[in-house]
Amino acid sequence: MLRTAAQRMGSGLRSSSQSGLTCALAQQRMMSVVAVEQPPMHHASKYYMDLEEKHGAFNYAPMPVVLSRGEGAKLWDVDGKEYFDFASAYGSVNQGHCHPRIRDAMVEQMSKLTLTSRAFHNDKLGEYVKFITEYFGFDRALPMNTGVEGGETSIKLARRWGYNVKGIPENHAKVVFAEGNFWGRTLAATSSSTDPTSFTGFGPFMPGFHNVPYNDLAALEKEFKDDFNVCAYMVEAIQGEAGIRVPDEGYLSKVKALCEKYNVLLIVDEVQTGIGRTGKLLCQEYDGVKPDMTILGKSLSGGMFPVSAVLASHEIMLQLKPGEHGSTYGGNPLACAVATEALKVSTNGNVAVLTFSSDG
């Protein structure tokens, strides 16, 4: 079942125009774009691409397609060409492009209040964290903006828990990651990477990070057994950047058992696999696992606004005190309104069911 679900994540951008031509580049995570003949480059597309090349950084190598409009599962470029979008912005628009309910919730909140900073309360944050924790069955939520911020947040929480609860000596906490992991491009994320294109030329790296082979329970247990200072194991339910690598059935449940045996926190990164991407609201549900922390992002806002969150227990989340972590935009009223509606759409619109059952 998990491997079948993974197949739902492996598609890219396909043209639906009369010519049937498709632009493709099989290089990005969670995408396996099937290429056919390249379409002719029209004047409008070249204009916008030339602007990027002249004035922008070269930190991406996008497909030669300049998109200008999206609706549901379809996209249109500046030359009027129509595409079916199986890439979903790396899993950020699982509800479809410009979903009317999410859009309307955003517009309504924009007309009232968009940002206060966390120096004040706002009338959306409390309702949002109540909703999302009940929705996924966790005690508390810490709102951030991007998936990589969610990863950073979970590591800080794990380290603090390691010192205060497990009794790890100060500044000796270790976090274990799976080889082939991808959770962003900050210095911490780069430090955990085993991909030379991610880490070469960006050292020195964050201390206290270790890697074990993905889907290797024996190697993971050895890491836990040999070092008391391990505070957490952070892992993707299905690896995306590494090539959509699906673990053995029951892998996460066995990992959870090891974490409990050695008093190590399990952090499951569901930024790409979550919110219906694999046929369930969370991919971890296939193994019936409730990790100590879950990281969410991307489709948490239906592609309307940068929103991420870390879900955890009281014991873990309350390790943080005021001023020790946060973000100016994290938990802003606009993000809260958008994410709440995006989650409601994911349930009412049967996003997970449609993802799993669709043949196209």
Q: Which member of 77, 269, 287, 292 is catalytic?
A: 269
Cα separation, 43 vs 45, whole angstroms: 6
Are the C-beta atoms of 240 and 249 separated by less than 8 Å?
no
Which ranges of the chain would DSSP assign to H, the alpha helix?
A: 2-7, 43-55, 88-91, 100-110, 125-136, 147-161, 187-192, 196-199, 217-226, 251-262, 314-317, 333-348, 351-357
Cα separation, 31 vs 49, whole angstroms: 22
Neighbours of 255 (CB within 10 A): 24
Q: Is 287 a catalytic residue?
A: no
Q: Is 50 a catalytic residue?
A: no
Amino acid at 245: R
Q: Which member of 86, 177, 182, 305 is catalytic?
A: 182
Cα separation, 209 vs 230, whole angstroms: 9
Q: Which member of 81, 86, 298, 305 is catalytic?
A: 298
Backbone angles phi, psi at 199, to 5 degrees: -110, -15
Q: How far apart are the first and last CA of the chain?
A: 18
Structure tokens at 97: 């492009």
For the chain, helix, strand, coil in percent to 5 are 35, 15, 50
In terms of DSSP bridges, do strands 74-77 and 82-85 run parallel, antiparallel, or are they unpaired?
Answer: antiparallel
Q: Is 261 a catalytic residue?
A: no
Active-site annotation, residues:
182, 269, 298
